[in-house]
Amino acid sequence: MSQRKRASNTQSSQNKGSQRWEAVLGDDEDDPSFTQPSTSQVQKGLDRLTPAQVDLKTAEVVQFIFVKDQKKFPIRRADIVKHVVKEYRNIYPEIIKRVGCVFETVFGLKLVEIDSKNHVYILINKLEQGVTASLVFPSNPKTGLLFVILSIVFMKGGVVKESMVWNTLKKLRVDQGERHEIFGDVKKVVTDEFVRQRYLEYVRIPHTEPLEFEFRWGQRADMEVSKVKLLEFIGQVRHCRLPG
Amino acid sequence: MRRASRGGDESGTGAPRQNGVSGARGGARGAAADRGDTVAGGDDDEAGCSPADMQDEDNDPARRREIRSKYRDLINSVQQNREDMLSPTNNKLTDVLEEANKLFAEVRQAREAALDAQLLVLATDLGKEKASQLHAEGSAFDPAAFAEHLLSFMGLNRLEEEDEDVEGGASGGYLPQDAWQRVANRAQRCFRTAPSFHYMMGSFLAELPPPRQRVERQRKVPGKEAKRIMPTQLKRMEESHQEATEKEVERILGYLRSYFFDDPTSPISYYEFVIDPTSFSRSVENIFHTSFLVRDGLAKMYLDNHKLPCIAPVEEGEVEAGGASNRQQCVISISPKSWKELIEAFDITEPLIHAPSTQHTE
């Protein structure tokens, strides 16, 4: 795979001979026909366009990212280039730089490339969430479920066997074998949705028979979650009185 | 160590585990020779310095099988009792390793060594987990207790009688509907999530027409039931509303002109002209239609010597296009009471404007 990437990177013209790579690699690879243009190429590209055109393209990318971010799945650079940037791809670095600025200065959000190999972005908030926000905008109950899992992993040193998580959730009336009233297919939510959103990592433990997995924090969790605040909440929960 | 002392190993180094590897190599050479031939037990590549009786033991297939079987037992016991081995309360893992070490002393062939290697991998994984457990001991975080506390946070309504029925030792009781919502709202504060994009007010939908129609229908319904006669009257009027007014106005103009030309010098009293002593409503209609004549400049109203209003047609020559500067407006109102007073005052016995031939009422 690294050899293929090298081959496409050494091509001076972006489209030369790259069509065959697209056919070979399919959709789940970073679009190899997109090679990161050099600074001089970017400058040349910018010179040929009016500021208004560049601003418009920037705005389109911002809107695209907003809509794509709704489900909290990471956004691929390939998608941005294919669907929005299109023929402006020769100035992509400049556009993405401006897009980042817009997010920061206008919306107080941060566009982060969490995977520099596969070029995948997420949007996080630069600002802390206040106390009243949760009263005005009730959050998704799934956040509660996620919190429980993240807490367990965190307090157990960063890695936890999945059996421990399921056992704890069972005490909270959440069973991976049964359909939950609120969460539905819990196993899918935890091992698929949360993983795709990069909140959790669900990793196979090697040499286990039968197959076992462990949970770790995902890249999004690393960026979004304040460990201090998490600890505060866990402490608050500990103080809840039990009967007897 | 025991291996090296035997001298059966070709490389003959001191460290036991390294021997295991080189033993495998040595054994491999031997195994390659006798792969299809275990019964014959020809392991001639073995270093010639080993005593004859030891060579027999080494080549004894039953012994080989025994060793392999013991290895497999060890491997199985490690896999089955994984949780047990991990427990910091015992040294079972160490026992297994010692057992394996003993077994290893008798390993001669690649097959046994491979099993030994497999056991070693398992053991090291377990060792790693045990070590990580050591680290976690200090924090003493008990997920089960955390769950119990969290249930309290969620507002679990614990019922004491239910405790025995619940499986797994979990708390019984009724968990409120918004339990997870409560946790989520509080937990959200720990996250720096970007808000999800959504349109503020939803899409625009024009919904005005339907309510209006409904209201209209409702109004019509009581009308239908209350007076069955009225709608037919109204319908007629509405149909030829425009025409009726125009016709009426023309008709009245006709009357006015004919009366005027009968006696041009005698002024026509306005009230005598418009009032119909038999019908108040028709009098009002007459006033209404006459006002059109005045508006269009076809009739004029003036006050006579007695300050009583009079009406007269305007001759063609007198008509000024586009309105005159001496035109004035006035509003005439009439009530049934004043209508009667007028009839008495002017002694009106019959209408000057005869009712139209088409009857309104039946």
B69-83: average pLDDT: 88
Contacts of A209 in chain B (CB under 8 A): 79
Residues of A in contact with B134 (CB under 8 A): none
Question: Do residue B180 and residue A141 have CB atoms under 8 angstroms apart?
Answer: yes
Report the distance separating Cα B41 and Cα B23, nearest Å.
18
Give yes or no for a contact between A142 and A189, defined as CB atoms under 8 angstroms apart: yes
Q: Of A205, A180, A181, A184, give the one whose Cα is nearest residue A193.
A: A184
* Interchain contact, B194 vs A131, CB within 8 Å: no
Task: With CB atoms and an 8 Å threshold, state whether A238 touches B197.
Answer: no
Confidence of residue B140 (pLDDT cuts 50, 70, 90): confident
C-alpha distance from A199 to closest chain B C-alpha (Å): 11
C-alpha to C-alpha distance for B293 and B248, rounded to whole angstroms: 11
Is B79 in the A-facing interface, judged by CB distances under 8 Å? yes
**Count of A-B CB contacts under 8 Å:** 151
Predicted pLDDT at A110? 94
**Which of B125, B150, B192 is the closest to A237 by Cβ?**
B150
CA distance A25 to chain B (A): 32
Measured CA to CA in angstroms, residue A213 lies from A58, A161, A171, A219, B58 at distances of 42, 6, 20, 18, 42
Q: Residue B232: what pLDDT? A: 53
Q: Is the model more confident about B140 or about B224?
A: B140
State the pLDDT confidence band at A32, using cuts at 50, 70 and 90: low
pLDDT on residue A30: 47
| Structural domains present in chain A | 3-124 (1.10.10.1200), 131-237 (1.10.10.1210)
On the question of pLDDT at A20 being above 90, the answer is: no
Residue B149 has its nearest CB partner, among A67, A182, A237, at: A237
pLDDT at residue B52 tops 70 = no
pLDDT, averaged across chain B: 73
**pLDDT tens sequence across B205-252:** 666 555 555 555 555 545 455 545 555 555 555 555 677 788 888 888
The minimum CA-CA distance between B92 and chain A, rounded to whole Å, is 18
B125 neighbourhood in chain A, CB within 8 Å: 206-207
Global pTM value: 0.51
pLDDT value at residue B23: 42
Instruction: List the single residue in B135, B158, B182 with the smallest CB-CB distance to A157.
Output: B135
- The Cα–Cα gap between B143 and B268 comes to 110
Residue A130: closest CA among chain B residues belongs to which residue? B189
Q: List the single residue in A152, A170, A242 with the smallest CB-CB distance to B152.
A: A242
Which of A23-27, A87-91, B24-28 has the highest mean predicted lDDT (pLDDT)? A87-91
Interface contact B122, partner A, CB < 8 A: yes
Task: Out of B146, B187, B194, name the one closest to residue A124 (CB).
Answer: B194
For residue A141, say if its preceding peptide bond is cis, omega within 30 degrees of 0: no
Give B13-23 pLDDT, tens digit per residue: 444 444 444 44
**What residues of chain B lie within 8 A of the CB of A224, using their CB?**
191-193
Q: Do B192 and A223 touch (CB under 8 A)?
A: yes
| Residues A172, B148 contacting (CB under 8 angstroms) | no
Weakest-pLDDT range from A113-122, A125-134, A141-150, B70-79? A125-134
- DSSP alpha helix (H) spans, B204-348: 209-226, 229-239, 241-262, 270-274, 280-295, 336-346
**pLDDT for res A57:** 94
Which residues of chain A lie closer than 8 angstroms to B183, CB-CB?
A: 141, 143-144, 147-148
Render pLDDT for A74-92 as a digit per residue (tens, 0 to 9): 999 999 999 998 889 889 9
Distance from CA of A185 to the nearest CA of B (A): 16
B76 touches chain A (CB under 8 A): no
Partners of residue A243 in chain B, C-beta under 8 Å: 158, 160
Partner-chain contact B185 A146, CB within 8 Å: no
Q: How confident is the model at residue B10 (pLDDT cuts 50, 70, 90)?
A: very low
At A134 the pLDDT is 73
Residues 194-253 of B with CB under 8 A from A: 194-198
3-state secondary structure B64-123: HHHHHHHHHHHHHHHHHCHHHHHCCCCCHHHHHHHHHHHHHCCCCCHHHHHHHHHHHHHH
Q: What would the pLDDT profile of B306-340 be if each residue is shown by its tens digit?
A: 888 899 888 766 655 555 556 678 888 899 999 99
Is the confidence at residue A31, as pLDDT, over 70? Answer: no
Work out the number of other CB atoms within 10 angstroms of the CB of residue A221. Answer: 23
Dihedral of CA atoms B161, B165, B170, B173 in degrees, nearest 10, equals -40
Structure confidence by residue, pLDDT tens digits, B270-312: 999 999 999 999 999 999 989 988 888 888 888 888 888 899 8
Mean of the pLDDT values across residues B347-351?
90
> What's the mean pLDDT in B160-169?
48
* DSSP output for B117-163: HHHHHHHHHHHHHHHHHHHHHTT---HHHHHHHHHHHHT-B--GGGG
Inter-chain CB proximity A147 and B184 less than 8 Å: yes
Asked if the Cβ–Cβ distance from A167 to B148 is below 8 Å, we say no
Contact B194 A109 (CB under 8 A): yes
Residue B157 confidence (pLDDT) above 70: yes
The answer on pLDDT for A223 being more than 60 is: yes
Residue B205 is predicted with a pLDDT of: 62
Beta-strand ranges (E) seen in chain A are 75-76, 109-115, 120-125, 160-161, 179-180, 184-185, 200-204, 213-217
| Model confidence at A191: pLDDT above 90 | yes
Query: What pLDDT does A229 receive?
Result: 93
pLDDT of residue A94: 92
pLDDT tens per residue across span B177-205:
889 999 999 999 999 999 888 777 766 66
pLDDT at A227: 93
A8/A33 Cα distance (integer angstroms): 7
